[in-house]
Amino acid sequence: MPPAGSLCRMDTASERLGRVGLVARFKPVHVGHAAMIESIVARADTVRLGIGSSNKYDVQNPFTAAESAEMISLVPGGASCDLVEVPDLGNGPRWREMVKGLFGPLDLFVTANDYVRSLLEDDYPIAHPSSIVPRELHVAVDGTMVRRAMARGDDWQAMVTPKVARYLIDRGLVDRFRREFGLATLALDATE
Q: What is the predicted pLDDT for the residue at 188?
A: 84
Checking if the pLDDT of 189 tops 60, the result is yes
Checking if the pLDDT of 13 tops 70, the result is no
Q: What is the predicted pLDDT for the residue at 1?
A: 47
Checking if the pLDDT of 192 tops 60, the result is no
Q: What is the predicted pLDDT for the residue at 176?
A: 98
Checking if the pLDDT of 6 tops 50, the result is no
- Give 15's pLDDT tier (boundaries 50, 70, 90): confident
Q: Are strands 44-52 and 18-24 parallel, antiparallel or unpaired?
A: parallel
Please list the residues that pair with 126 across neighbouring strands. 7, 109
Our CA dihedral for 6, 52, 161, 66, rounded to 10 degrees, sits at: 150
Q: What is the predicted pLDDT for the residue at 12?
A: 45
CA atoms within 13 A on the CB side of 147: 27
pTM assigned to the model: 0.90
DSSP 177: H
Q: What are phi and psi of 85, to 5 degrees?
A: -80, 130
In whole angstroms, give the CA distance from residue 42 to residue 128: 16
CB atoms within 10 A of CB 104: 10
